[in-house]
Amino acid sequence: MVIFGCQVRADGPSELLRDRLDTALDYLEDHPGMTVVVSGGQGPDEPMSEAQAMYDYLTGHGVDGDQIVLEDRSSNTWENIQYTLDLFQSGAVEPTGKILAVSNGFHLSRIRMLWGREWEGTYTLSTLAAPSSHLPSRLSMHLREPLALAKSWLLDR
């Protein structure tokens, strides 16, 4: 499982990131022991890396820290994928051939597109859509995501 990062605030994960984490926790209840990669670096306005905030949240909700691997260098979706691939290639994560990507539904099209550029035929990608419970964030992301998708389609290689 790879959980894609999102904004972290002084009081912890943003609403959208909590939605992703809670969705992952629900899945992990039925799949205990699954390795989890938490992927996200630290933005200039964030108190810690997104990966560290996700690690803290998951372990605070009962996930064994030994099953969580932090990818804390990325600053965008393309880097999330690149640096996660590095973890697989270095042996830090034992890949099974099947990867479950967890993010909000509006983000999954871009993840699938970018994943296919890098890992097509190597790993089978499944996605798990987290609900977007916070209306202002959901509206903002639905406006932002088409532009991000176009930018990634053109520039992320």
User: In order of start, what are the domains of the chain with their CATH numbers?
Assistant: 2-155 (3.40.50.620)
CA distance 109 to 9: 26
Give the pLDDT of residue 145: 65
Q: Is the pLDDT of residue 69 over 70?
A: yes
Residue in 8, 48, 3, 9 with CA at minimum distance from that of residue 26: 3
The more confidently predicted of residues 2 and 89 is 2
Q: Is the pLDDT of residue 100 over 70?
A: yes
Give the pLDDT of residue 138: 53
Share of the chain above pLDDT 70, in %: 85
What are the structure tokens assigned to 76, written together?
Answer: 């965008």
**In a 3-state reduction of DSSP, which class is residue 151?**
helix
- What rounded mean pLDDT belongs to the chain? 88
Q: Which amino acid is at 35?
A: T
Give the pLDDT of residue 140: 59
What are the structure tokens assigned to 130, written together?
Answer: 């987290």
Give the pLDDT of residue 23: 97
18-61 tens-digit pLDDT? 999 999 999 999 999 899 999 999 999 999 999 999 999 999 99
Q: Which residues of 79-110 are buried (b: 16+ CB within 10 A; e: fewer)?
A: bbbbbbbebbeeeebebeeebbbbbbbbbbeb
Residue in 72, 108, 75 with CA at minimum distance from that of residue 87: 72
- pTM (2 decimals)? 0.85
104-119 tens-digit pLDDT? 988 898 899 898 887 7
φ/ψ (deg, to 5) at 100 = -110, 115
Q: Which residues contact 97 (CB under 8 A, 6 or more apart)?
A: 123, 124
DSSP letter, residue 66 = G
Share of the chain above pLDDT 90, in %: 60
| Helices and strands, counts by H and E, the chain | 5, 7
**In a 3-state reduction of DSSP, which class is residue 93?**
coil
CA distance 84 to 99: 11
φ/ψ (deg, to 5) at 31 = -135, 60
